[in-house]
Amino acid sequence: MSEVTIIDHPLVQHKLSLMRKKETSCNQFRDLLKEVSTLLAYEVTRDFPLHYEEIETPLQGMKAPFIKGKDIVLISILRAGNGILDGMLQLIPSARVGHIGLYRDPETLAAIEYYFKMPPEVKGKDFIVVDPMLATGHSSSAALHRLKKVQPKSVKFVCLLAAPEGIRELQERHPDVSIYTAAIDEKLNEHSYILPGLGDAGDRIYRTK
Ligand code: URA
């Protein structure tokens, strides 16, 4: 079963609480999401391997550790995933970036892919898939299914908030994908919104409501 890591650092929890408040403005929400995302990036890359390169300090030579940013592919599930992507890129600027967009067919409820753009040669790389809200898990699960077709070395899923239903769905369908979240909330409402949640993440990032 996939591992679930709750990033309960006080700074993450504090910023998440500010994001939940309904009076938090769109600008503040975006800034907070960016800040939290750098902290999530810090946790999700914790076990990434280092390689050593010979460098010169002002005093002497040494073998210094570096992360292989180019082996990391950050993948945003459109559109709210872009809010996390920005913060993560700030911390890992050399990471490659991909995007995937899906919508739910209202009749069949099947997830239909409308956008899929990956950088070249992603096979064998470490994927970090980002979407702020893991609600039912249906679209995230479909996105992971599609992404695995390009044969990544590893896949991690990062969200800000998760519902127990979404965690169960991913664990069932993608036991090999570890999940990182700042919190697991109570449940979904009848419209599949997370409770207590923070509302529609995309609308709050882009002021579309
Ligand atoms: N997507 C959101 O943006 N918010 C939710 O609560 C659930 C899904």
Q: Which domain holds residue 57?
A: 4-206
The answer for residues whose C-beta is within 8 angstroms of residue 107's C-beta and 6 or more apart is none
0.85 surpassed by pTM: yes
Query: Residue 136's domain is classified under what CATH number?
Result: 3.40.50.2020
For residue 60, the CA-to-ligand 1 centroid distance in Å is 52
pLDDT band, residue 105 (cuts 50/70/90): confident
How far is it, in rounded angstroms, from Cα 103 to Cα 71?
Answer: 29
Cis peptide bond N-terminal to 196, omega within 30: yes
Please count the structural domains in the chain: 1
Strands 178-181 and 187-188: unpaired
> Which residues have any ligand 1 atom within 6 Å of their CB?
80, 133, 135, 193-194, 197, 200-202
Alpha-carbon distances, residue 103 vs 45, 60, 62, 135, 191 (angstroms):
29, 56, 51, 14, 16
- Give the model confidence (pLDDT) of 19-54 as tens digits: 999 999 999 999 999 999 999 999 999 999 999 999
